[in-house]
Amino acid sequence: MNYRICTYGDPILRTPSAPVASVDNGLRQLAQDMVETMHAANGVGLAAQQIGRTEAVCVVDLPAKMDTDESSGQRQNPGVPMPLVLVNPEITARSGREVRDEGCLSFPELFASIARATDVTVRFTDLKGKEQSLYAKGFLARAIQHELDHLNGVLIVDRMSAVTKIGMAGRLKRLKKQTKARLAAAAEAGA
């Protein structure tokens, strides 16, 4: 099932996620649907809030070419199976710092320079209900941090510099207005 992706201005994006009590078939189906929705939108990561849900679950699927170190040409996270599904994820360690352009499916066609850790360790539950710990670096670390921000109600606009926000103010205002109009129309149609 493909979900509609919630865009900037939708209140659900500011709603912190609720911990998942147990991994069951419903959660596995949600994760599969999230991966399909992410692929259909040409994304590499998606959090539950982005499809109007509040479970603490996110998915990441990096193509090999996006997981390659630019200088050495080597894969940075070759042992990490994709797509990666993180249930109740929590970053337990981070190191390094890098500023790179970043986009978001909830901010279509907007990219901004965002500072993130270059390496992270994340603890999570997998779809078998087992506790896992994963060390990630490079773009995978960036994607994990981005999706965990969503689970905490933090958006890419919150990570932008003041100068970038000023430069994008018009586009952000338009996107928010379009989202609010779509939500109002959906509410009216459902009434």
* pTM of structure: 0.95
pLDDT one-digit tens code per residue, 12-69: 999 999 999 999 999 999 999 999 999 999 999 999 999 999 999 999 999 999 999 8
Check: CB of residue 17 under 8 Å from CB of residue 55.
yes
CB atoms within 10 A of CB 141: 26
First to last CA, the chain: 24
Phi, psi (rounded to 5 degrees) for 132: -135, 160
pLDDT one-digit tens code per residue, 172-189: 999 999 999 999 998 898
pLDDT of residue 69: 87
CB atoms within 10 A of CB 130: 9
Q: Whole-angstrom Cα distance, residue 44 to residue 38?
A: 7
Q: Which residues have a catalytic role annotated? A: 147
Kindly state the average pLDDT of the residues 109-123: 96
